[in-house]
Chains A and B, each alone.
Chain A
Amino acid sequence: MSTQTTDEDSEATGQSDSEAPASSPGERRRAEKRERQTEKARQAAETESDEETVLLKVFRYDPEVEGKREPRFDDFHVPFYKGMTVLDALIYARDTYDSSLTFRHSCRQAICGSDALFINGRQRLGCKTQLSDLDEPVRIEPLPHQDVVKDLVVDMEHFYDQMESVEPYFDPDELPSDDMAEQRQSRENREKIKMSTRCIWCGACMSSCNIAAGDNQYLGPAAINKAYRFAMDEREGDERKEKRMEIMEQEHGVWRCQTQFSCTEVCPKDIPLTEHIQELKREAVKSNLKFW
Chain B
Amino acid sequence: MYEHDVLVVGAGGAGLRAAIAAHEEGADVAMVTKLHPVRSHTGAAEGGINAALHPEDSWELHAYDTMKGSDYLGDAPAIDTFAQDAPEEVIQLEHWGMPFSREDDGKVSQRPFGGLSHPRTTYAGAETGHHLLHTMYEQVVKRGIEVYDEWYVLDLAVTDEDDPSERECHGVVAYDIQTGEIEGFKGRKGTILATGGPGQVFDHTTNAVANTGDGPAMAYRAGVPLEDMEMIQFHPTTLPSTGVLISEGVRGEGGILYNAEKERLMFEHGYANNDGELASRDVVSRAELTEINAGRGIEDEYVHLDMRHLGEERIIDRLENILHLAEDFEGVDGLDEPMPVKPGQHYAMGGIEVDENGESCISGLYAAGECACVSLHGANRLGGNALPELLVFGARAGTDAAGADIGAPEIETGYEAKSEDGDLDSPVELGAVGGTDVAADGGAVTGAASTVEAAVERARERVDSLMDGDGVNHAEVRADIQETMTENVNVFRNEDGLKQALRDIRGAREHYQDVSVHDPSRTYNTDLIQTIETRNIIDLAEAITAGALAREEFRGAHWRQEYQYRDDENWIKHTMLAWNDGDPELYYKPVILEGAEKTYEPKERSY
Q: Which residues of A contact B (CB under 8 A)?
A: 2, 5-6, 9-10, 12-15, 19-20, 25-26, 29-30, 62-65, 81-85, 88, 94-95, 99-100, 102-103, 105-114, 127-128, 130, 132, 149-151, 153, 156, 160, 164, 167-172, 175, 179-187, 190, 193-194, 197-198, 200-201, 230, 233, 235-236
Contact = CB atoms under 8 A, between A and B. Distances in A.
Contacts of B178: 149
B302 to A, nearest CB: 11
Contacts of A83: 239-242, 329-332
Contacts of A179: 88, 91
A111 B130 contact: yes
B526 interface: yes
Interface residues of B, number: 88
Given A83-B330, A106-B210, A19 B496 contact: yes
A30 to B, nearest CB: 6
25 contacts: A10-B504, A10-B506, A20-B496, A83-B239, A83-B331, A85-B242, A88-B241, A99-B517, A100-B520, A106-B210, A108-B244, A112-B38, A112-B41, A112-B43, A169-B141, A169-B142, A170-B135, A170-B139, A179-B88, A180-B87, A182-B95, A187-B103, A190-B100, A198-B127, A198-B130
Nearest to B127: A198
Contacts of B138: 168-170
A110 B328 contact: yes
Contacts, number: 216
B428 A233 contact: no
A160 B103 CA distance: 34
Contact of A108 (B127, B243, B332, B518): B243
Contacts of A107: 39, 41, 43-44, 208-209
Given A20-B500, A112-B38, A64 B97 contact: no
Given A5-B472, A10-B504, A197-B131, A109 B331 contact: no
Given A10-B507, A180-B87, A150 B329 contact: no
A64 B38 CA distance: 29
Interface in B94-127: 94-97, 99-108, 125, 127
Given A197-B99, A200-B43, 5 more contacts: A9-B506, A65-B521, A88-B241, A109-B242, A169-B97
B487 interface: yes
Interface of B: 35-36, 38-41, 43-44, 87-88, 91, 94-97, 99-108, 125, 127, 130-131, 134-135, 138-139, 141-142, 178, 208-210, 239-244, 293, 300, 325, 328-332, 427-428, 472-476, 479-480, 483, 487-488, 496-497, 499-500, 503-504, 506-508, 510-511, 514, 517-527
Contacts of A103: 526
A271 to B, nearest CB: 13
A184 B510 CA distance: 59
Contacts of B96: 169-170
Contacts of A187: 102-104, 106
B483 A30 contact: yes
A64 B519 CA distance: 11
Given A62-B521, A102-B524, A84 B102 contact: no
A128 B328 contact: yes
Nearest to B122: A182
Nearest 6 Cβ contacts at the A-B interface: A170-B97, A184-B106, A100-B519, A169-B138, A9-B507, A169-B142
Given A19-B499, A64-B523, A170-B97, A30 B487 contact: yes
Contacts of A26: 487-488, 497
B524 A150 contact: yes
A162 B35 CA distance: 19
Nearest to A11: B507
B506 A65 contact: no
Q: Which of B97, B138, B244, B427 has the most CB of A within 10 A?
A: B97
Contact of B328 (A106, A112, A130): A130
A82 B503 contact: no
A164 B143 CA distance: 12
Contacts of A108: 208-209, 242-244, 329
Nearest to A10: B507
Given A88-B242, A106-B209, A186 B87 contact: no
Contacts of B97: 169-170, 172, 230, 233, 235-236
A113 B208 CA distance: 12
Contacts of B106: 184-187
A156 B150 CA distance: 11
A182 B103 CA distance: 12
B39 A114 contact: yes
Contacts of B331: 82-84, 130, 132
Contacts of A112: 35, 38-41, 43-44, 208
Nearest to A29: B300
